[in-house]
């Protein structure tokens, strides 16, 4: 029986599928190959996966309820890792409907099929963006998340609520992972490291929001994948001490769990850029700008629950991670 990974041609999906295939798992990778960013990069990731034994690609849109149901009926999946989504905070300001379609309707279709086919564990992508207007650091899964400041964040919070419904009504084990700023080789072109690298190498100015004072919990892709695989193997269980009088947000009387997954070492954007400049041997032409609408000034993950429950331990330093990305970028683009 195989594992389904949605968003398999995406950044995190590609690396997760690669890691599972290396473990000898059979993987079905679902993606719609949309044009949110350079489709050739998605195709290149997909070509890498198709060279590996045990991989099959399914071209499918998460919003296609019939196609999703048919895929589940054909494949008899054992587990599902749902990473497919419309990503990006800034893009959600101009295209809110695409987020509701993909992230809410698409996730509902996945939940329904998981319920109908007795999937033993669903791991799905949430986001640190759900913390929204909350400024208490570090962010804990046990903190309230009722004040999102972007449609993207609101859809991810909705995913967590929907997942709890299915865990509660149908005893579907679900684990949500709140990702904190992921970076590394094969990354998304719309994210800071990719954009900055491209522009610095071509002599273009880079836009630095919040005047470089943003603090982000930059987490290298290999550490993220380690956490995903650890959670995939730790099937969510009900919390026997959960109380309806004093309800814990991150757990439930149902088989439901929420985890932060980050580096737990926030880095100021200005320092991040300096590390990239050092790696490239070039100085960036910076255009300082105020904080953008819908953004949050800092993220800082408390990962103590994930560490305690799975042994998760991030290992890759910022300098090593940026070096690995730049090496990949120069090789891939022939720079």
Lowest mean pLDDT among 73-77, 249-253, 288-292, 314-318: 288-292
In a domain, 133, yes or no: yes
Q: Is a pLDDT exceeding 80 seen at residue 293?
A: no
Average pLDDT for residues 159-177, to the nearest whole number?
A: 98
Residue 282 belongs to some domain of the structure? no
- For the cut 80, the answer to whether the pLDDT of residue 246 exceeds it is yes
Average pLDDT over the chain reads 95
| Residues 210-240: tens digit of each pLDDT | 888 889 999 999 999 999 999 999 999 999 9
Residue 155: inside a domain: yes
pLDDT tens readout for residues 7-42: 999 999 999 999 999 999 999 999 999 887 888 999
Count of the separate structural domains present in the chain: 1
Over residues 278-297, the mean pLDDT reads 88
What integer is the mean pLDDT of 118-146? 95
Pick from 158, 310, 148, 292: which is nearest to 227 by CA?
Answer: 310
Token pair 């930059």 is at which residue?
218
Interval 66-77 mean pLDDT: 97
Residue 1: predicted pLDDT: 83
pTM metric for this prediction: 0.96
Domain assignment present for 204? no
Question: Looking at the domain assignment, is residue 193 inside a domain?
Answer: no
Give domain status of residue 241, yes or no.
yes
Distance of alpha carbon 202 from alpha carbon 20, whole angstroms: 36
Position 166 in a domain:
yes
Mean pLDDT of 266-290: 95
CATH number of the domain enclosing 73: 3.40.50.720
285 found inside a domain: no
Q: In the predicted model, is pLDDT for residue 294 greater than 80?
A: no
Query: What is the extent of the structural domain holding 254?
Result: 3-182+221-263+301-315
> Which residues, 6+ apart, have CB-to-CB distance to 91 below 8 Å?
36, 152, 190
> What pLDDT was estimated at residue 43?
97
Q: What percent of the chain has pLDDT over 70?
A: 100
H or E segment and range at residue 40: helix 39-50
Q: Which residues are catalytic?
A: 152
């Amino acid at each position: 029986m195989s594992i389904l990974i949605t968003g398999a041609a995406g950044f995190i999906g590609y690396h997760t599928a690669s890691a599972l295939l290396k473990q000898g798992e059979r993987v079905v990778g679902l993606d719609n190959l949309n044009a949110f960013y350079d489709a050739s990069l998605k195709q290149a990731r997909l070509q890498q996966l198709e060279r590996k034994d045990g991989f099959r690609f399914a071209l499918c849109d998460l919003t296609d309820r019939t196609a999703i149901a048919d895929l589940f009926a054909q494949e008899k999946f054992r587990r599902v890792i749902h990473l497919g989504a419309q990503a990006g905070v800034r893009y959600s300001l101009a295209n809110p409907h695409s987020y509701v379609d993909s992230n809410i309707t698409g996730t509902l279709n996945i939940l329904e099929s998981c319920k109908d086919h007795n999937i033993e564990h669903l791991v799905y992508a949430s986001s640190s963006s759900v913390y929204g207007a909350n400024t208490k650091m570090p962010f804990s899964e046990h903190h309230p998340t009722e004040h999102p400041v972007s449609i993207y964040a609101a859809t991810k919070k909705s995913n967590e609520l929907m997942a709890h419904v299915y865990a509660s009504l149908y005893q579907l084990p679900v684990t949500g992972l709140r990702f904190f700023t992921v970076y590394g080789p094969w990354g998304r072109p719309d994210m800071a490291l990719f954009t900055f690298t491209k522009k610095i190498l071509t002599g273009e100015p880079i836009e630095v929001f919040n005047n470089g004072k943003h603090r982000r919990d930059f987490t290298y892709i290999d550490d993220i994948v380690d956490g995903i695989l650890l959670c995939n193997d730790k099937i969510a269980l009900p919390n026997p001490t959960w109380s309806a009088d004093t309800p814990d947000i991150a757990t439930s009387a149902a088989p439901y769990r929420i985890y932060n997954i980050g580096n737990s070492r926030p880095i100021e954007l200005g320092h991040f850029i300096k590390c990239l400049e050092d790696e490239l041997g070039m100085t960036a032409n910076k255009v300082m700008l105020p904080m953008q609408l819908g953004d949050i000034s800092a993220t800082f993950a408390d990962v103590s629950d994930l560490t305690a429950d799975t042994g998760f331990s991030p290992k890759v330093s910022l300098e090593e991670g940026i070096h690995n990305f730049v090496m990949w970028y120069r090789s891939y683009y022939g720079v």
